[in-house]
Each structure stands twice: as C-alpha cells, then as structure tokens.
Structure 1
Amino acid sequence: MSDTPRFPPLMAGVAAIGENDPFETACAMAVRGCEGGTVVHKVQADRLRAAIIFAPEVATEKAIAMLPLCGVGFQNAVGALAPPEVAVHLDWSGGIRVNGAHCGRLRVAAADAVTDQVPDWLVVGLEVPILQTECDPGTNPDVTALYEEGCAEVDPAHLLESWARHCLVWINRWSDEGNAPVHAAWSGLLQGIGETVTRAGICGTFLGADERFGMLIRNGETTHLVPMSNLLGESE
C-alpha cells in the first residue's frame, strides 16, 4: 500500500485523523468554509473511505448529479485497475455492487435540502471494503469485498487516486455537456431496473431514472418520480 495518495490538479487530499469518519469530517470542514475539490480520506488495508467536497454553482436539484457522477468515476477507477472480469454496478441510492454482491456505498450530503437554491457545499462520500473482516468470506454471499472478487492486486491508495482522477474527468464533462453523458454511463451501470422497490412510501416497479436521475416507479397505471435529492435525508 502506497504511503501518501496523490491527487490531480484542482484537488487536494486531507487525511482523516484517528477514528474520524472522512464523510463526517468533510461535512464539518465544508461547514467551516473549506475549498471545493478537497478529498478527505482514510486508506486502510481492509477498507477505503473518502469524501469529496464540492462548492456547487447550481441549485441542489442539479448539483445532486455529483452522486451518480462519482459512482461512474468509481466504476471507471476499478475498471482501470482490476481484472476485466470484475463487474461494478450501482444502486440508485448509492450502493455499490461488485460481481452482483453488495460492496460498499456512496452517499451524499449538502448544506441544506432546499433543492431550488445553490447550496454552500455538497459532499459525496465513498466507502468500500477491501477485505471482509467481520465474517468469513462466503458466509453471506450477498456481501463481498474487493479482495474476494479478484482485486487482490489493487492498492487502496491507487484506487483512491484513480477515483479522484476519473471523477474530475466526469466533472469537467458534466460542466461542458450537462447531465446527458453522465446519465448515459450511469444508466448502463444501474442495478435493479424492472424489480419491485419501495421509495418515499411508493411501492412499484423500478423503471429507471429521468434526466435528473430521479427514480421512476410504476404503480398500477401511474408512474411516480422520486427525486434523487431525497437521498440527502438518508446520508446516515
């Protein structure tokens, strides 16, 4: 495992201290007025945790695109470092699947949940297990870690660096082209389409996502929209 992660221009790394959670640390730093592009991280042999602080220039309902964008960035990062047979997919709410099993998550928080106003800050956090330490591999086949899925040679620090680089590429593309390219890439990774889901008290068939990444749920003859900004209240 390499010592100090290196980040691309416009990003700066800050190691979380002690047992502090990088996501919570990033939110606290953002409240105090930290620069956008700061990556708070904690790289361990068994787990990678990190969070990127954003300083949005658009309303929360548009800035929430950073969650699926960072998911695509993670898939790209794993694709660049892991064997080609390792498949990464994404849950609408931020969950990460590797070869079909749960393997960490992304989550999001913002200064407030007023979706039609520009938030002072927005944070996207990443947490992914490198090794399973709470139970023997295979005990729960629906939960996995990167090591068990053929990523034994993937250095966690290199994965963090790769995630940051790929996220920056997608941020630049999103700034130039809007949601469309992110939506196309993310939709191709989206897990659970066609399955029964319950969100915001609505139960029905998950049809996919609208152009702003909102969940479309078909219930009887009605299609309901659950905005992705609803996830801001589910960041714990």
Structure 2
Amino acid sequence: MTATPVFPPLFAGRDAHGAYPFALACTEAARGCDAGLVVYDLAPDRLRAALVLAPEVALREAAAMLPLCGVGFQNALGALAPPEVAVHLGWAGELYVNGGHCGRLTLGAATRDPAALPDWLVVGLTLDLWPADDETGLTPELTALYAEGCADVDAMTLLEAWVRHTLVEINAWEEDGPARLHRDWLGLAQGLEKEIEIAGQRGIFTGVDEHFGLLLKTGDKTALIPLTDLLEETP
C-alpha cells in the first residue's frame, strides 16, 4: 500500500496525482471545501503542495500567511536537514537553500480587495528536490534540496513537518499578534538592505511595513509594494 502523509487534526490531505496542487486547492476552496485541506503532489524530483485557509481578518492582514508559511517551511526543514544547511526567504515567496533559489510559495484568495474578508485563502509550495539539469554550474543561482546536503530528507516527511510547523506559527500569530512573525521573518529575509528588483522597480530592500508590504528605497524616495500585489490569478 502506498504511504500517505499524516497531518494534524482538522487537516485533510488530497493527492493531486500529478495535477498542480495550487490550482486544484483554489478550485476546491471556491467550491466551499473545509479549511485545512492540503493538496499535494510528490514526484521524484519535486514537492508541490497547497494549503487552504479560512481567514477571519481582511486580506491585507491575511496575506501574512505567505511569509508565515515561509517561516513554517524554514522551521520544518531546519528540524530535518543537517545543521549547516541555511534557509532564507524572499519577499515574493522565493525559497533559498544555501543561497540558491530552490522553490517558492504562492498566494491566492477569493478576493483581490485588501479591505475585504476573503472567503478563502490558499498558499502553495513548490520545492525542487533534484536539479533540472546535471550541468548545475551553468545556473549557479539555482539549486535543489538534494544537491545541498539534504538527500536524507524524505519529501513526505518534509510536507508533514511543513504543515505542523505552519500550524504552530498560525496559532502564535492569532494569539500574540504579528510581532513574532515580523522578527522571525526578517531574520530569514533574503536581500535585506541590498539592491533588488521587484515588479520592474529597483531599489534597496529596507524592510517591510506592518502588513509585510515591501519598502523599496530609490534615492531619497521609498516605495511601498503591498503584499497583496503578489496574489496569483486563480481558476
């Protein structure tokens, strides 16, 4: 019998069988599925998953689930990988392992209005396990989990750990507010205080506002890019 992942109570797994979990989770959420659905696709070279949530706050606040799921991922991999493996998080959902781009998180919601209470919200995870090309020296900025000393990290175990650690972060965020999440995420932020390019704008990434909007300084001006600008088109 094929093993299936085990999730905390109130979470239910669904195998996407090769379909894109993020799109499938958004479709199921729009149909009214329960929060806590975890759609996943475990392939030999890639882990993909998506988590359905039911926010109780406006979208501009609920969008914090994107960086929160990133912190959950770092905690999950940190518990399973060798101690020398470093995980960092890009503002737009990028996942970096030992400095190389290894995957990303995506965000979808029932509405694009930052002031509205979304009926549902989905965070997707894509993680490369093996490099797409054996000639990894041609793309040094890209990597894969098993190329970074993590060959013993089982993908299903990592998926289970991601959901568990994300649940811990959600509970802390609901009980204590966003201060802890801001502190933990900024400690993992890739490119902080460096020049980056986001949405065609280039400047110094100086930090985030209270809703995790990106603060991008160009000359003597600072632009704010809301986290809700990262919302993906949903089915």
When normalised by structure 1's length, the TM-score is 0.94
Mapping of 1:69-148 within 5 angstroms? 69-148=68-147
Aligned-pair CA distance for 1:203 = 2.9
Deviation at 1:150, TM superposition (A): 0.3
Q: Aligned partners of 2:172, 2:109: CA distance in 1, in Å? A: 22
**Cross-structure match for 1:157:** 156
> In the alignment, which residue of structure 1 is the partner of 2:56?
57
Structure 2 match to 1:8: 8
Structure 1: stretches of 5+ with no match in the other structure: none
Deviations 1:175-234 (A, max 9, x none): 101111111111100011122233355432110111211100112222221111110147
2 CA distance for matches of 1:54 and 1:113? 16
Q: Do the aligned residues in 2 keep the contact of 1:105 with 1:126 (CA within 8 Å)?
A: yes
Residue of structure 2 in register with 1:213 after alignment: 212
Distance (whole Å) between structure 2 residues aligned to residue 217 and residue 67 of structure 1: 19
Paired with 1:124 and 1:171, the residues of 2 have a C-alpha distance of 13
Separation (CA, whole Å) in 1 of partners of 2:122 and 2:214: 21
Cα-to-partner distance string for 1:101-158 (whole Å, 9 max, x where unaligned): 0001001011110010101111000000111134433331111111110001000000
Does the aligned pair in 2 maintain the 1:107–1:235 contact within 8 Å? no
Root-mean-square deviation over aligned CA pairs: 1.6
For 2:141 and 2:40, locate their aligned partners in 1 and report how far apart those are by CA, in whole Å. Answer: 26
Q: Matched residues in 1 for 2:232 and 2:14: separation?
A: 26
**Number of equivalenced pairs:** 234
Deviation string 1:44-72 (CA, Å, 9 cap, x unpaired) is 22110000001111100000010000000
The more displaced of 166-175 and 42-51 is: 42-51
Q: Which residue of structure 2 aligns with residue 45 of structure 1?
A: 44
In structure 2, distance between residues paired with 1:217 and 1:74: 25
Q: Is the 8 A contact 1:104 1:127 kept in 2?
A: yes
Q: Distance in 2 between matches of 1:199 and 1:133?
A: 25
Question: Do the aligned partners of 1:49 and 1:126 also contact (CA within 8 Å) in 2?
Answer: yes
**Matched letter for residue 170 of structure 1:** E
Percent identical pairs in the alignment equals 53
Show structure 2 runs of 5+ residues with no match: none
Runs of 4+ in 1 over 6 A off after TM superposition: none
1:200–1:148 Cα change, 3 Å: closer
Residues 1:35 and 2:34 are matched in the alignment: yes
Change (3 A) 1:67 1:78: same
- TM-score, length of structure 2 as denominator length: 0.95
Residues in 2 aligned to 1:82 and 1:183: alpha-carbon distance in whole angstroms = 24
Supply the AA of the counterpart residue of 1:7: F
Separation of aligned partners in 1, 2:82 and 2:46: 19
**Counterpart contact for 1:137–1:148, Cα < 8 Å:** no
Corresponding residue number in structure 2 for 1:176: 175
User: How far, CA to CA, are the matches of 1:139 and 1:3 in structure 2?
Assistant: 36
Q: Give 1:88's aligned amino acid.
A: V
Measured in 1, the distance between the counterparts of 2:30 and 2:155 equals: 28
